[in-house]
Structure formats: C-alpha cells, structure tokens
C-alpha cells in the first residue's frame, strides 16, 4: 500500500507551507498548483521550472496518482463509467456524462467506499461503508476523468458511491480545491452535493457561504413510505429534513433540487403526487422525477410513462418546477455501485 499522500488533496496554502518547510520560496506553491491543474502533469519530474532537488522532494512526499483505472464501461463521447482501484485495493466508480449538444461535460464522483445508508434501490449501500475517501482521492477522480475527456469538466456532481455529508470535511476540502481560482476553477454553482437527507450536513452547508448546488433525495411523500425505501429516514425524519431544507433556503436564498425516483406501486400514485405537492408548497425548490433504474438488488419496477406524466402534472399544477426525464446522471445515481458490486461478486 502506498503510504504517500495524494498531492491533489492539498490547498495552495498547504502546499506553500510544505515549500517553506523544504526551504523553498512561497511562490513555488502557485507554480505547483499551475502544473497540477492547468498543465495537468502527472509527475513532479515534469514541473520544469522547479529545481531538480525540490522535484525529488515532491516525489518523495506525495503521490501524483492514487487511482488506477481498472475498467471503463462505455465509449468515448458517450456516458462512461470508470471503475478505479485505490491504493488499498478498494474500488470506486466515477462517471463521465457528456452533453455534446450543450458542449458540457459532467463528472459524477464518489465520496466514500461503500455507504452506510442502504437505500433499497442502490447497489452502493448493500455492503455498508468501508471507508471515507480523502480529498486527494476525490479530486483525483476528476483528474482521471479530465484525462479521459481531454479537458476540464464543466460540472461535478457528488452522486457516485457514498453519502457526501457522511464524509463532510474531506468532501468540502475537495470542493475548495476543485473551485480554487488558481486550479481547475470549477464554479461552485457547477458543483452539486447530493444527500440522502443527512440533516447535520445540510445545517453545516448553510453556514459555509459557498454557492454550491444542493440536491436532496426525497423519493417519497410521507414518513412511512420513505422509511421503507430509505433507512436514513429513521435517523432524520422527513419532517426534520424538510425543516432543515427550509432553513437552508432561507439562509442561503438558494434553490434545492429534490430528487424523486418513481417506483411502480410504491411512490407513484396520484394521491402521493398531491401529498408531495402539499409538503413542498411555497418551497424554494425544483423536483427532479427519475424513473427507477433497474438494479439487481431491488425488485421494484419503473412506472409506465402515463403514470409518470400524470405525477409530474400534479406537481406542475401546484406551481412546483418539475422535470421528468431519464437523466443520465440521475439514472446512474440509482445504478451507482453496480460496476463495483459486480467486481466484488
């Protein structure tokens, strides 16, 4: 196992402190950050404006690659899933979602190895949480995907394996690195944190003063249905969750996206649509309806298109901004962890 730390897990001020420790001037940190995120080099040897002995010190202290791609599913230019091995042989998934017409690429990244929350329709939580990813491992996923894309991604969504707010500090550090003006400069509004409903995480995020997007997986209009498919509801009820979301929108003035996976005969009736509309009344939000993606671990089905259309209409008529689409990103979220689960089997 490689015991060196990933250089992608350090903010410029931390790299600056390292430079000073090594007797180097502070401006070296900016040079290093530039090599890493603008020129996207993958070794210290390539950092030609640094003195050779210092390049050797960097190589001794840091790893420039903490992920190894072991499988790529899908073709270039289309949605691709990367299965990557970490230095302790654990595996995570990263997804590249191109939108050629809009000329925008989205990278869906993981924040943990496994997940403790065990949502019924998700492969990632089936074997529980193994460990948190470091900020370096999180940023490295974006760098690996950027290499595949041949350029910087436009959007980053934390919708891969794991619950971002269950690894809050490392995830937020990765957000700051990705967003840094001297680095990849991925705008905060182009970074989405997606939570299954970890209330303390929403409360902390409200205090960060960051313009990131927040997406909350609701998937049910009432406590009972939600508890059946999302065990997290037994820790933080839907009532508490919506209260935290209201406080968040009041404080940040930012819209929340509620994700709602439609599952046949579980949460797709007209009555449930009305119930959801009532709960989200006067809420600064949009609702993203996603038909269930089939996963081996869950025997639910997606509703037929008429049922989904009626569900969406009920919300729209109640004045709720609603989208119904087989969004690749969201579908992949439902299917997230599949590639890893197959490998583990």
The site for ligand SF4 (CB under 6 A) is made up of: 115, 117-119, 122, 124-125, 161-163, 196
122/133 with CB nearer ligand SF4: 122
3-state percent breakdown (helix, strand, coil) of the chain, nearest 5: 40, 20, 35
Place of tokens 């087989």: 326
Question: CA–CA distance from 106 to each of 68, 98, 131, 159, 226 (Å)?
Answer: 20, 6, 25, 11, 29
Render 319-334 in DSSP notation, one character per residue: T-EEEE---HHHHHHH
Compute the C-alpha angle 225/227/228, nearest 5°: 65
122/212 with CB nearer ligand SF4: 122
15/216 with CB nearer ligand SF4: 216
Q: How far apart are CA 33 and CA 40, in angstroms?
A: 9
Q: Which two tokens mark 11? A: 């903010």
Could you list the beta-strand ranges (E) of 60-209.
62-63, 67-73, 80-86, 91-99, 104-108, 112-114, 129-132, 155-158, 191-195
196/312 with CB nearer ligand SF4: 196
118/136 with CB nearer ligand SF4: 118
Strand order in the sheet with 285-291: 67-73, 80-86, 91-99, 104-108, 155-158, 191-195, 213-217, 256-262, 285-291, 321-324
CB of 234 to ligand SF4, least distance (A): 13
CB of 162 to ligand SF4, least distance (A): 6
CB of 101 to ligand SF4, least distance (A): 28
Q: Which residues are catalytic?
A: 93, 336
CB of 194 to ligand SF4, least distance (A): 7
118/153 with CB nearer ligand SF4: 118
Q: How far apart are CA 3 and CA 292, in angstroms?
A: 40
CB of 53 to ligand SF4, least distance (A): 44
CB of 219 to ligand SF4, least distance (A): 9
Q: How far apart are CA 238 and CA 69, in angstroms?
A: 38
CB of 272 to ligand SF4, least distance (A): 20
The residues, any chain, with a CB within 8 Å of residue 209's CB and separated by 6 or more, are: none
Contact 223, 251 (CB under 8 A): no
Q: How many CB atoms lie within 10 A of CB 306?
A: 8
64/168 with CB nearer ligand SF4: 168
Which residue is closest to ligand SF4 by CB? 125
């Amino acid at each position: 196992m490689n015991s060196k730390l990933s250089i992608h897990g350090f903010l410029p001020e931390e790299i600056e402190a390292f430079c000073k420790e090594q007797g180097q001037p502070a401006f070296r940190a900016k040079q290093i950050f530039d090599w890493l995120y603008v020129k996207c080099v993958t070794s210290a040897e390539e950092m030609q404006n640094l003195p050779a002995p210092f390049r050797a010190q960097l190589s001794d202290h840091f790893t420039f690659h903490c992920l190894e791609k072991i499988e790529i599913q899908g073709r270039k230019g289309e949605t691709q899933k990367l299965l990557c091995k970490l230095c302790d042989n654990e595996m995570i998934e990263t997804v590249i979602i191109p939108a050629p017409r809009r000329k925008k690429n989205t990278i869906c990244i993981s924040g943990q190895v496994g997940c403790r929350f065990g949502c019924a329709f998700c492969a990632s939580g089936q074997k529980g949480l193994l460990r948190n990813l470091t900020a370096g491992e999180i940023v490295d996923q974006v760098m690996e995907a950027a290499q595949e894309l041949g350029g910087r991604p436009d959007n980053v969504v934390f919708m891969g394996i794991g619950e971002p707010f269950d690894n809050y500090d490392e995830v937020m550090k990765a957000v700051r690195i990705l967003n840094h003006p001297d680095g990849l400069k991925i705008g905060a509004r182009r970074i989405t944190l997606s939570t299954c409903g970890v209330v303390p995480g929403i409360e902390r995020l409200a205090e960060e003063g960051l313009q990131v997007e927040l997406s909350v997986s609701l998937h049910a209009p009432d406590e009972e249905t939600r508890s059946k498919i999302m065990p997290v509801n037994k820790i933080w009820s839907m009532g508490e969750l919506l209260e935290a979301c209201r406080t968040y929108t009041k404080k940040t003035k930012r819209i929340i996206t509620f994700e709602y996976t439609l599952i046949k005969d579980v949460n797709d009736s007209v009555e449930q649509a009305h119930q959801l509309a009532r709960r989200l009344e006067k809420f600064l939000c949009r609702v993203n309806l996603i038909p269930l993606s089939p996963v081996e671990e869950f025997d639910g089905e997606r509703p037929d298109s008429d049922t989904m259309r009626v569900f969406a209409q009920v919300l729209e008529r109640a004045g709720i901004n609603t989208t119904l689409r087989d969004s690749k990103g969201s579908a992949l979220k439902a299917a997230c962890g599949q590639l890893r689960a197959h490998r583990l089997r």
